[in-house]
Amino acid sequence: KTAYEIKECDWSSDVCSSDLALAQVGVAAVPGLVACLVERDAEVRRCAADSLDRLGALARDAVRTLSASLRDEDVVVRRSAASALGRIGASASESMPALVMALSDPDMDVRRNSAVALGRLGTIASDAIPALERAVRDRVEKVRSAAASSIDRIKTSARKAA
């Protein structure tokens, strides 16, 4: 698929699942994927969020829209948005407030992915430690574990930076 076809939100099932097509387009796909994140069709938003997640750090220009997608009505979009922000890493620092809010999401995978993403922000996420400490008491073990690991990661980052 070309960047134009992605920009036009032409989501056939093979585009949504094809790492090869995404790799061929790469960072050029980001503006179109961002546009797709605000489409009315939930499946289009899901595919766009998943594709941005797979692009990882190349998707850094999508941070603002991915942050907003943490409030999407569709749980799959929220899960992928949180995961994508984590894969973007420190370049997603402006997403920290939205990720902290997502630690309270009703869906455990959104909470877990948000905790992981905060840890990947590194030292920048030091202000999120109190929220992560609350998440360590989550009712779901995977969320607790992700929050504890992220606290450790942030503190380790801070020690290395000092």
Instruction: Grade residue 15 by pLDDT with cuts at 50, 70 and 90.
Output: very low
Q: What is the pTM of this model?
A: 0.87
Residue 11's pLDDT is 46
* DSSP codes joined into one string, 43-84: HHHHHHHHHHHHHGGGGGGGHHHHHHHTT-SSHHHHHHHHHH
Q: What is the pLDDT of residues 93-124, one digit of tens each?
A: 999 999 999 999 999 999 999 999 999 999 99
